[in-house]
Structure 1
C-alpha cells in the first residue's frame, strides 16, 4: 500500500497532496522511544564577505527606493552562497528577490518580504534566523544571519522612527524531555518513505551537495546517510504535521508554499 502511495506522489501535480503525504510518511518514521533526541549540527559556510558576482546589465533602477534596494540589499543577497543560489530567475524559487536580470522585478519581489516600520520583524529575517539552522543562513548562528539581514533592510529603508534598531527576542517553547522520541538508528525507513519519493525528486535542485546551486542543509543529497542527518532538524517526531518539511510545502495561508 505504501508503495502505491509513493508512486502516486511521484506523479501528483498538487502541492497540497504532496504535503499531506509527507505528513503521513513523517508519522510512519517515528520511533517512539523514551529519552532525548540526538542533536546533530549541519556544517555551514563561514564566509561573511560579499563575494564577487557577475556584473549587472539589466534595466536601471526606476526610482530612488529601488536604487537604495539595489545598493544595500540586493547586491548583498544575490551571491551564489546566499539567497542568490535559489531565489533567482534561473532556479525560479519565489520570491525572486535576488534575480539578476532585472533589479526592478527583484525589488517588487522583495517588498512583500520586509517590514519597513520594524525591519527586525520582516518575514525574510524570520526565515534566515529560524532555529536550529535558519533558512539559507550562511554562518553557524541563525541569529547572526537575522541580525545581518536586519541591518541590510535598515540600510535600505532607513532607520526606525525613534532613530534606533529594535530587535525583538522570543523565548523558545518549553518542552518536556520525557515526552521526546528518538530517530531510528539507520536511515532505511527515511530512505524508503521520505528521501527517495519526496526529497530527491523535489528538493535536490538546491538541497544537494551535487547541485550547481547547492544550498544547505543537504537533506536531498544522494548520500542517504548524510541526507538523513541533515533532515532530522526538519522533522518533528512528536507532531509530524508541524515538521518544517510540511510547513515549507504547505500552501499559503497554512504554510510557506515553498516549491
Structure 2
C-alpha cells in the first residue's frame, strides 16, 4: 500500500467523545477530513450541531449524541446510536475530560467529592468508553486522551494529573487484553490553546500568549486542536498498525 494511503480512513466509522469543542472538535474534524464518518458525543447540543455541520460540509456523515458520560448508564445512548449505524465501528476516541468545575487545586485542598468528580470524568469515563468500544468493535483502534500533566508532579493540578497518569496504565492493560484485534493507544497533549487549558492556569483567551511564560515550549508556540487531530489520524489509521499500548506525547517538546 502506498504510504499516503495508509493514513486514509475512508469507509471507517469513528466515535469521538467530548467532541463539542476544543481538542475533541479538532479530532472529530481531522478524522472526517481523513475520510471517516463520525459519531460525536458531548453534553451540549448546540456545540455538537456546529461540529456536525462542519463535518457534513466535508461530505462525511455525522451523527450526534447528547450524553453525560459520567452519569449512571451514561454510555447507553451512545452505544445504541453506534450500533444502529450501517457501518461497523472502527475507531473510538475517549476524549471527554478536563476540570469539572474549571478550578485547579492542591491535593491537600481537594474534597472527596471533588476528587471523585475528577476521577470519574478523566479516568472512569475512559475505562467505560474502552469497555463499550470493545463490545461494539470487531477490529480497530481505541485512542485515549492522556495529558503531558500525567508525567511528573504538578502543583495545583494533582487530581487531574493523577487521573491522566492512570489513563496511561489503563491504556497499556487494555492493549494487552484486546490484542490482536483492537489496538489501544493514548495521546498526551501539551499546552493547547483551548478554553479548558487556559482556565486551568487561571487565564482567559485574551491572555493566551502569556501561557508560554508558564510552559516553556521549545517549539515556541502553544499547540492547537489540529495538532492533536493529526496525531489521532495517525493512531487511528493503518499507518500505525504495529503500534499498541503506547502514549504519544504531542507537546511541542515541553
TM over 0.5: no
Greater strand percent: which structure? Answer: 2
> Based on CA coordinates, which of the two structures has the bigger radius of gyration?
1
TM normalised by structure 1 equals 0.26
What is the TM-score of this pair, normalised by structure 2? 0.26
Structure ranking higher on relative contact order (CA contacts 8 Å, 6+ apart):
1
